[in-house]
Structure 1
């Protein structure tokens, strides 16, 4: 028999097919919601357990504080209580609530589609992206295959009708000393940057934007504004990305000084102690499969604190010097 032809007689058949398709779609959506609720339930139980355990530990410490006060060790006990609180709630924020993202991998276009197609079997957003894969830049699909945090940004790419460079920082970001700004944030991620856009290629301007705000508190210098200047001033190099000169020559345009520095653990800590944030150009590794910029804003006992403009998860981790230093190609510290 030939291809099925639509006629008035088979109108009910077509309607039945449509109802079946909708019914299947709804069942899949209910399964996804049930799975998410189950995951949230397990997460909630874990958080409650940690809070209860921490509360018990804190109360035991506080009950011993009276004795410690009599023995002259009050400050030591208070310090211990503060450390326990920091460890407890820091663990909940950094380890429990933030999914860790694997290191990026270089893939062929076929391999990228395989990764996304596998996820499309259980996720409607990935399914939509696969259905319209030919309409997306290949670099954007490759970025999503490496970083699931970008899902909303990528799925919204075809629907965005206009971009504006007038986006501003949120009240929460303005209150932070070193706010984490993400290059693929929809406020500026879709804005063109060279032959790409800020979401895919704007790590350099986004890092510099974070540094500028930290030092000057000028909220107008968003990633969109820095990227616009970088492109107009010739700091965007086609096929490469942002030129390193943006970190020195370009920084001066915004009223700050960027100075190249040696890759030295003690020197990095010294500059950070002096209030000088650091931007690093990274080689392939934990942060990138090609080239990337990250910002370092502090350190603690276990390593350095970073803002990775491409990944929230990696920004919530503490990075030891040996891991970072093996991937840093160059670095600059900044002052006002």
Structure 2
């Protein structure tokens, strides 16, 4: 049977697909604009010669990708578009990472600290530390260790004094610990120390004057002049220095002379300073002769150059101490300097002085010698 002719451009009628069908029908409908990959039709538009569709893209498996051809998603999420959501996710991830980093550093710091403690404890426990003093490195020599031990002990005691400074009966006691490092141990133990005096057993030689200090534990806590000898005893201690050097005897300690001074009225509880009378009058009972002089370099030189005498001087406050006190000039040296034994200051007694310096800072001179 012959087919009817077409009346199109090529002179042929187009096939009526509905009537005759076509072996290419599936391909034809698949490739037609406006149809999806499964062949279903949907609304499409043509712009600038290209078809655009509001339908979503689908994958090769047919699943909806969630993105339209125009780059806009139907049913927009409250979080905004894809780009905004990605930025938000990145920000959250960054915050979480920062928190984790901070926690990690903190944990490491605690771990390192524990590690250090464990290491120190392990060294101490293993016995590899300094056997003489665990506070000092094991590599330190015995001499250096001893120096550190002394300094560390003093610092600990000074800290103790500072904590209880307000509990001392006399403010000059904690102050003494600051002025005189060698007095720190005495001051630290003073509140609980015995008030009884001990004998002086050191060797004494005539012509040699011992460096006695007010805060010596053998007498420093004995009551005197409203306080204790450690801070008010410069008079008795100075006279004891002169007595021992001039006579070569040690039977008159600062505590013995303080007791005699109190009994004679040369010191009272209402006055923290020893009266001049202890020297001008009280020395006779010790077998000593006392002569008073006006303070001057000439008088100091004259007394000491004759030999056999010492000069007890009344030093002004703020010379080598915040307080007026007594001391002893014991010798004239070859360079015309003088040796000072100051019972309130070990440092002041550690070097020589110019005669003019001593004379200019004194308010009284008393020359002492052995009675003939």
TM-score (norm 1): 0.62
Aligned mate of 1:205, from 220, 225, 236: 236
Task: For residue 265 of structure 2, give the secondary structure of its aligned residue in structure 1.
Answer: coil
Aligned mate of 1:230, from 261, 266, 277: 261
Distance 1:41 1:282, change over 3 A: same
Separation in 2, partners of 1:254, 1:235: 15
Distance 1:157 1:186, change over 3 A: same
Is contact 2:300-2:359 (8 Å) kept? no
Aligned mate of 2:344, from 265, 289, 310: 310
Separation in 1, partners of 2:163, 2:299: 51
Is contact 1:189-1:199 (8 Å) kept? yes
Separation in 2, partners of 1:169, 1:331: 30
Aligned mate of 2:273, from 241, 253, 266: 241
Is contact 2:173-2:187 (8 Å) kept? yes
Distance 1:241 1:269, change over 3 A: same
Structure of greater Rg: 2
Distance 1:154 1:332, change over 3 A: same
1:167 partnered with 2:202: no
Where structure 1 has 5 or more consecutive residues not aligned to the other structure, the ranges are 1-18, 45-118
Separation in 1, partners of 2:234, 2:216: 12
Aligned partner of 2:312 in structure 1 is 279
Aligned partner of 1:319 in structure 2 is 353
Separation in 2, partners of 1:175, 1:329: 28
Separation in 2, partners of 1:234, 1:257: 20
Aligned partner of 1:153 in structure 2 is 186
Q: Deviations over 1:192-232 (max 9, x none)?
A: 11310111100010000111122222311110100110011
RCO higher in structure (CA 8 A, sep ≥6): 1
Separation in 2, partners of 1:302, 1:229: 36
Matches within 5 A, 1:249-268: 249-268=281-300
Is contact 2:291-2:366 (8 Å) kept? yes
Q: Deviations over 1:69-110 (max 9, x none)?
A: xxxxxxxxxxxxxxxxxxxxxxxxxxxxxxxxxxxxxxxxxx
Matches within 5 A, 1:95-110: none
1:194 partnered with 2:228: no
Where structure 2 has 5 or more consecutive residues not aligned to the other structure, the ranges are 1-116
Q: Tell me by how many angstroms 1:267 deviates.
A: 2.8
1:270 partnered with 2:302: yes
User: Which has the larger displacement, 316-325 or 179-188?
Assistant: 316-325
Q: Tell me by how many angstroms 1:122 deviates.
A: 8.7
Q: Tell me by how many angstroms 1:325 deviates.
A: 1.9
Distance 1:271 1:32, change over 3 A: farther
Q: Tell me by how many angstroms 1:333 deviates.
A: 0.3
Task: For residue 250 of structure 2, give the secondary structure of its aligned residue in structure 1.
Answer: coil
Separation in 2, partners of 1:139, 1:189: 13
Aligned partner of 2:252 in structure 1 is 221
Task: For residue 317 of structure 2, give the secondary structure of its aligned residue in structure 1.
Answer: coil
TM-score (norm 2): 0.57
1:290 partnered with 2:357: no
Give the aligned length: 237
Separation in 2, partners of 1:151, 1:229: 28
Is contact 1:193-1:201 (8 Å) kept? yes
Task: For residue 157 of structure 1, give the secondary structure of its aligned residue in structure 2.
Answer: helix
Aligned mate of 1:181, from 198, 207, 212: 212
Separation in 2, partners of 1:153, 1:290: 20
Is contact 1:32-1:122 (8 Å) kept? no
Aligned partner of 1:135 in structure 2 is 167
Is contact 2:226-2:272 (8 Å) kept? no
Question: After TM superposition, where is structure 1 displaced by more than 3 Å over at least 4 residues in a row?
Answer: 29-34, 37-42, 119-122, 173-176
Say what the alpha-carbon RMSD is for the aligned residues.
3.3
